[in-house]
Each structure stands twice: as C-alpha cells, then as structure tokens.
C-alpha cells in the first residue's frame, strides 16, 4: 500500500531523509519509530502530498507521488500532530464541509457523519462549538475528519503525544477499532503505545531505515532479557552498577536514583551473579525482578548501535 525506495529530502545542507526505503503492506498497522529529528514527520508530509522529495520513489495506494500525484487526496487520510479547526464550527458542520470537498452527496455525508461521530464517541458533542473541546476531543475529531471519505491509507503523526492518560487511552482504542478497515501508518515516540496497537514496526534514524519487521518477529530477534532492582540506598546501588558493568553478560546498565536496570546476553549467568554481587556490595533491596523485554528496550538497542557507527 506504501512503497518508498531510496527517498531523499534535503533542506539546504540538511539531509532530513537520506536514502529511506520502506514498504507497508495492505491492512497493516505500522508503527513508525525514530528519535527526534530522524525524519518521521518529513516522511509523513511527503506521503500526504504536503512536501516534495528531492529524489527517490514514493507510491501510495497506487499513486506515484513523484511523477503524478493526481488522485492522492481521495486515497489518504492525514492527521497531523496538531490538527487545526475552525473554532466557531461544530463537528457536524466541519465534517459536512469536508464531505462536500471530497464530493460526497448529501445522503452519504449525513450517514457518514453519524457513523463517524459514533465511532469517535462525539455524538453528544456533535452540535457544540469545537473551540471549547479538550485535546482528546480534538484528536478524535481529527481522526473523524481524516476518515470522512473512507481512505485506503491513514497517516497519523504523533496522534497521542499531547494527550493526558485518559485521552491517550481513548485515541488508542479508536486506532485499534480501525484495524482492518484501512492501512495505518502511525508515527510515535511513545513506544508502549506502538507495542500495544501496531503489528509491524519500522525504526529510522538520521533519515535511513534501521529495521522493519512484524512486531513479534522483531521482539524475538532483538529483545534481550532485562533485570530491574530497587535498593534502599542509592549510593549502594551505584556501587553495585559499577561492578555489574565489568561483567561480559551485561550489555547495558543504567541507574536512575535507587533503581538499577540491566540488559543481559546470558540470563543464567545474570541470575547466578547479580544477587550475589548485591550482597557483596551491601545493597539492601526492596525489589528484584526479571522483566519481559519491551519494544523500548529493542529501540534503544538498535538506535544505540546506529549512533555508535
């Protein structure tokens, strides 16, 4: 549904995209990850037809954005990180306007507006002015606006980054409900959210693709076991961490106050030595746990390797 090959985008001497290649299959919920400045928003803007590439191949839902982007708007829906609205309008008025711009007849617009307001749980707010909406309500309305014409591809740029926990939950549940209705490309820096709703993950850095894979396969391939511990004395935890760093099985060691986090390559060795080392360092523990590796652990591992090259 999305095919990008050797994509470059230059802003003067800045290479926002430097040979990016990626593929999004039909029906996927694709988590598009990368550190700040990696090129995620630039890629989404090119896919939405809001920016032109310097060079490369970009095809979205059969539309070649380099040679002829005619018809792209009918095939995609786009939710920017900060969606804008006319504050004096109501959701019904706003969605009706967009429906007219997309060429929907009156009967179809009314049916679609009713369906979408129900989908994004804004039925009761359908006649209220948008200017008084919360961030979560505005994001949900932005999703409804992106879906008004039933696009084949939905592009989401940081759809939950500015929301409180309640708003994030609402929008993520909505994205989960959209799975299977269209192909979704979701940019985010909140990795736990991507792990929850996305079935494919692509990680970029400095404008290039590091890895793209089904989420489960990515976790199986790269996730390394993690141990976490909390001590009663931060200074003792720091001494313990310094000793742990000398062990060959400790691939990453971090300390945050009185909390130690260790990524390991040899689980059995870590199990046998970590607690013994804590005892020798006089560390009194309130918690010691072998954790299930997360997508964040994989992300930090891969981006860290890329930065070291």
Q: In this predicted model, what pLDDT tens digit does every residue of 56-105 receive, in sequence order?
A: 999 999 999 988 888 899 999 999 988 999 999 999 999 999 999 999 99
Which pLDDT score, from 0 to 100, does residue 203 have? 94
Neighbour-count burial of 117, counting CB atoms closer than 10 A to its CB (0-12 exposed, 13-18 middle, 19+ buried): buried
Domains of the chain: 2-219 (3.40.50.300), 224-292 (3.30.70.100)
- d(CA 39, CA 184) in angstroms, rounded, equals 18
Task: For the beta carbon of residue 84, count every other beta carbon within 10 angstroms.
Answer: 8
Kindly give the residue spans of alpha helices, DSSP state H, lying in 15-55: 40-47
Tokens of 24: 């999004």
Which pLDDT score, from 0 to 100, does residue 304 have? 67
How far CA 288 is from CA of 6, 255, 271, 276, in Å, comes to 46, 14, 11, 12
DSSP-derived letter for residue 283 is P
Top-ranked range on mean pLDDT: pick from 85-94, 223-232, 265-274: 85-94
Tokens of 41: 């928003």
Torsion-angle region of residue 16: left (phi > 0), alpha (psi -120 to 50) or beta?
Answer: alpha
Confidence of residue 309 (pLDDT cuts 50, 70, 90): low
Is the model's pLDDT at 223 over the cut of 80? no
User: CA angle at residue 166 from 156 to 33, to 5 degrees?
Assistant: 30
Q: What angle do helix axes 295-308 and 215-222 make, rounded to 10 degrees?
A: 60
Specify the pTM.
0.81
Nearest alpha carbon to residue 303 among 62, 108, 30, 36:
36
């Amino acid at each position: 549904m999305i095919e990008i090959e050797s994509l470059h985008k230059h802003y003067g001497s800045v290479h926002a995209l430097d040979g990016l290649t990626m593929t999004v299959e039909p029906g996927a919920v694709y988590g598009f990850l990368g550190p700040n400045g990696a090129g995620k928003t630039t890629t989404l803007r090119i896919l939405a037809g809001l920016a032109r590439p310097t060079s490369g191949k970009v095809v979205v839902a059969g539309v070649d954005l380099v040679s002829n982007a005619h018809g792209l708007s009918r095939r995609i829906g786009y939710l920017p990180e900060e969606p804008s609205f006319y504050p004096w309008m109501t959701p019904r008025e706003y969605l009706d306007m967009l429906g007219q711009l997309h060429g929907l007849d009156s009967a179809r617009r009314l049916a679609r507006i009713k369906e979408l307001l129900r989908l994004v749980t804004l039925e009761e707010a359908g006649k209220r002015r948008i200017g008084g909406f919360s961030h979560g309500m505005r994001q949900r309305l932005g999703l409804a606006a992106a879906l008004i014409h039933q696009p084949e591809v939905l592009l989401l740029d940081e759809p939950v980054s500015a929301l409180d926990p309640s708003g994030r939950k609402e929008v993520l549940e909505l994205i989960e409900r959209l799975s299977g209705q269209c192909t979704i490309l979701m940019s985010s820096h909140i990795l736990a959210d991507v792990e929850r709703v996305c079935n494919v993950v692509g990680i970029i850095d400095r404008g290039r693709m590091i890895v793209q894979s089904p989420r489960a396969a990515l976790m199986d391939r790269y996730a390394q076991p993690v141990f976490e511990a909390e001590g009663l004395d931060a200074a003792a935890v720091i001494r313990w961490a310094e000793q742990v760093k000398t062990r060959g099985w400790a691939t990453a060691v971090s300390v945050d106050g009185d909390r130690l986090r260790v990524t390991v390559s040899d689980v059995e060795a870590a199990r046998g030595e970590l607690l013994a080392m804590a005892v020798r360092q006089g560390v009194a523990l309130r918690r010691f746990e072998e954790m299930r590796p997360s997508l964040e652990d994989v992300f930090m591992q891969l981006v860290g390797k890329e930065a070291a090259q």
